[in-house]
Structure 1
């Protein structure tokens, strides 16, 4: 059974004062800001043009209301004026759309991270676990200059992890994993919020991100009471839950072998195939009959309600470690 959640510490807000534009603390923060200001500039220019035309035509109409109307513009000239206004505007917004699409693809394309950190949202706190097992609540320590991947989920309702200085926001959804990746570029302390209303104490669900140099980050990890790594804790839980009785190392008689399983393609009993990823492993723990592997009987029990989201992440880390020669992630 999972242990009760610790009491969240008092909220420590970073002393940053009022910031209309947050600091640029990640590699792509500047790129996001450039796009934002370009969109703001084009929209402002269009608004000024339209408002100016409204004022000009209103004044001209007011002064010329009793005058005889002259002949209108020729149809061909009207068409040229319309095209001359619409075409540059369309090209401008298509250019912004292409720019935004390129940035979006770059931000959401997964890359090999230097470190993967688990984040579990719960009313009303953020629970964090580092690969070596170090835990913290409402605070996220990360090393400067390293690609940091966050594996995010929720224990109860939908939350949203928002790191303004890193221009990063991801939903935390019960029963599924979302990921985010960023590379901190400057040391310091930055704000962390929940950007999705999640209940009465939503406003208190905030914290801080502490970016340290690589040496200081390693020193901070060494100073904590981490004990076993995340993968090692998953291995201990694997033994404690009795999983090793069927998933014996090097054996696949009663259940699929776990060595090298992560990332592979597995055939299911219905003839379809599935890539073994974090979501599949989680479903196999909570709903083992949902996607039954071909050639095996439905004998695995469900561990729903017996393991927490943090413990599921530990089990996933353990299985991942079996897929790369026992090296912890």
Structure 2
């Protein structure tokens, strides 16, 4: 297998990891005012992701860095053409991170309410815009013969891409609700499971329409099989939620997101950014790649350090694996903040 194909596959794995892990973070953030009825319950909800949310964001940083190093032409065209949506995502992630850290710095309801809104918005914006961005990457955008994006921001807001945004939004909401059902106990657990079922049905409809449209645009038997498997995993997760098997339910949405993202990358390959222009030049794993020497060095670095990162993150999830309930939350103090 060529190193360009290896690195395309590794970047796909990084995005799968990001969407599966950060996806439930986004869902929890958006559901904060929906599933909590008091400050104590809000602290329960936030503390479910307190030890892991910043670690989950590392996946997107590594994915961006790997794209820059392995496929510099892809990185340059993507970040210039998608500048505004990517900037909005970055700002939203920064605001959300600040909200997690600062909401408990003052014992004031208004102060906390404002930061709670920042958590919701900081989770909502990326949840939608990542779907819009990836839908456009798979569908193709106007790229000329010089590998330059020649469209506008409005070009990215086409019906297919907007459906992609709605799909990721609903999937992440479902994923987050079932994560809360898995990680909490008491009233929040029951509310989250019930809401996860409703959201999951809406997500299933949106996902089926979006993935069918994707298959009609570009795809083969492999991507089709992955999309079908994703739909079955989501339905299986919802069935498990209905049976109050939260662990299996969360695993179902996790697998559904992983299989769907994998299918998108399979449908995209060997392109990394197809053009919609006649006479334009699609970016591929060949013409957008770095030199063989660069890819070789990157491969050795990945082989050495990837297992360490995976073991550390796995250890973090194991340490903070227990459920959280209202009675676990101590009396509010000025210095209190999400469990780290």
TM-score bracket relative to the smaller structure: under 0.3
TM-score by length of 2: 0.24
Structure with a larger share of its residues in helix = 2
Structure with a larger share of its residues in strand = 1
TM-score by length of 1: 0.24
Question: Bigger radius of gyration, 1 or 2?
Answer: 1
Higher relative contact order, chain-length normalized (CA < 8 Å, sep 6+): 2
